[in-house]
């Protein structure tokens, strides 16, 4: 679903990037989202085999397990949603691209859940994602409008290893929560302990006093799909989330 791209119609395009998704979510009865963020460069199992044959030391091979885990977790959460609520109370949403995003969408799609893609026009990311539900594949021009929709309907986040885009999305959400622009409290799964421990030292932020301990309360670190599933579903099944 392409949204018109013209410099002369900037205001119209911004409004359209609000109105079009909003109406589609109403039409498709999408209430809330479990959002997956993660690298577009993460290979699938078959892609990993090809990479391994050409270069066993390819750094992308470290990401392969996360595509598999994202697919399984999204599948389990979609099944849980149907069994628990009987309708699409929680839909799986990603950035609509390849890699971990495509894997999570595949899991939701295979489980019969709503599979949403909020993609962005990028010059180096042209692979299709065939696992998006009809009428729920959006292509944005503006990052800020895309991130608005991630934040507005998110009730849980799964943050897989990723690059600049993933970190931008993660810190946008953490900032909105800290500043109480997002007033709801929801689970945030930081999936991949080795990656996060190596890359991101949250304790340093505490040591320098630039954040409070409360800012990290909802961050849950794990390597296990079952642990992530239990953490998210337990939080979402609490009475104030129903």
CATH code of the domain in which 20 resides: 3.40.50.450
- Helix and strand totals (H; E) in the chain: 9, 7
The closest alpha carbon to 107, from 91, 118, 95, belongs to 91
List the chain residues with pLDDT less than 70. Answer: 1-7, 123-127, 239-242
| In a domain? residue 172 | yes
Q: How far apart are CA 50 and CA 90, in angstroms?
A: 35
Q: How far apart are CA 42 and CA 67, in angstroms?
A: 6
The closest alpha carbon to 36, from 79, 62, 66, belongs to 66
The closest alpha carbon to 205, from 185, 176, 163, 175, belongs to 175
Structural contact between residues 81 and 242, judged by C-beta atoms closer than 8 angstroms: no
| In a domain? residue 26 | yes
Model-wide pTM > 0.75: yes
- Whole-number pLDDT of residue 6: 59
| In a domain? residue 174 | yes
- Whole-number pLDDT of residue 45: 87
Structural contact between residues 152 and 30, judged by C-beta atoms closer than 8 angstroms: no
- Whole-number pLDDT of residue 69: 97
Q: Which residues contact 95 (CB under 8 A, 6 or more apart)?
A: 37, 40, 101, 117, 118, 119, 120, 146, 165, 169
Domain region containing 145: 7-241
Structural contact between residues 74 and 90, judged by C-beta atoms closer than 8 angstroms: no
The closest alpha carbon to 71, from 96, 107, 98, belongs to 107
| In a domain? residue 16 | yes
- Whole-number pLDDT of residue 7: 66
- Whole-number pLDDT of residue 83: 95
Neighbours of 164 (CB within 10 A): 7
| In a domain? residue 81 | yes
H or E element, residue 137: strand 137-140
Tally of domains in the chain? 1
pLDDT digits over 55-82, tens only? Answer: 999 999 999 999 999 999 999 999 999 9
| In a domain? residue 2 | no
Which letter, b or e, does each residue of 64-74 get, where b requires 16 or more Cβ atoms within 10 Å of its Cβ? bebbbbbbbbb
| In a domain? residue 1 | no
């Amino acid at each position: 679903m392409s949204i018109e791209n013209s410099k002369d119609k900037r205001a119209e395009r911004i409004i359209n990037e609000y109105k079009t998704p909003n109406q589609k979510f109403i039409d498709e009865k999408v209430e809330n989202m479990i959002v997956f963020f993660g690298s577009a460069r993460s290979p699938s199992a078959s892609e990993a085999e090809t990479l391994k044959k050409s270069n066993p030391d390819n750094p992308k091979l470290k990401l392969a397990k996360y595509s598999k885990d994202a697919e399984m977790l999204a599948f389990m959460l979609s099944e849980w949603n149907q069994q628990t609520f009987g309708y699409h109370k929680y839909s799986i949403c990603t950035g609509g691209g390849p890699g971990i995003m495509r894997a999570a969408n595949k899991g939701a799609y295979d489980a019969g859940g709503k599979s949403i893609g909020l993609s962005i026009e990028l010059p180096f990311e042209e692979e299709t994602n065939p696992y998006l539900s009809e009428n729920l594949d959006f292509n944005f021009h503006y990052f800020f409008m895309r991130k608005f929709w991630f934040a507005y309907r998110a009730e849980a986040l799964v943050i897989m290893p990723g690059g600049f885009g993933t970190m931008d999305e993660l810190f946008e959400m953490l900032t909105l929560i800290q500043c109480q622009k997002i007033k709801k409290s929801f689970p945030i799964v930081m999936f991949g302990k080795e990656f996060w421990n190596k890359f991101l030292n949250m304790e340093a932020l505490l040591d320098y006093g630039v954040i409070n301990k409360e800012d990290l309360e909802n961050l849950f670190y794990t390597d296990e799909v079952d642990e992530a599933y239990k953490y998210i579903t337990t939080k979402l099944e609490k009475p104030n989330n129903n």
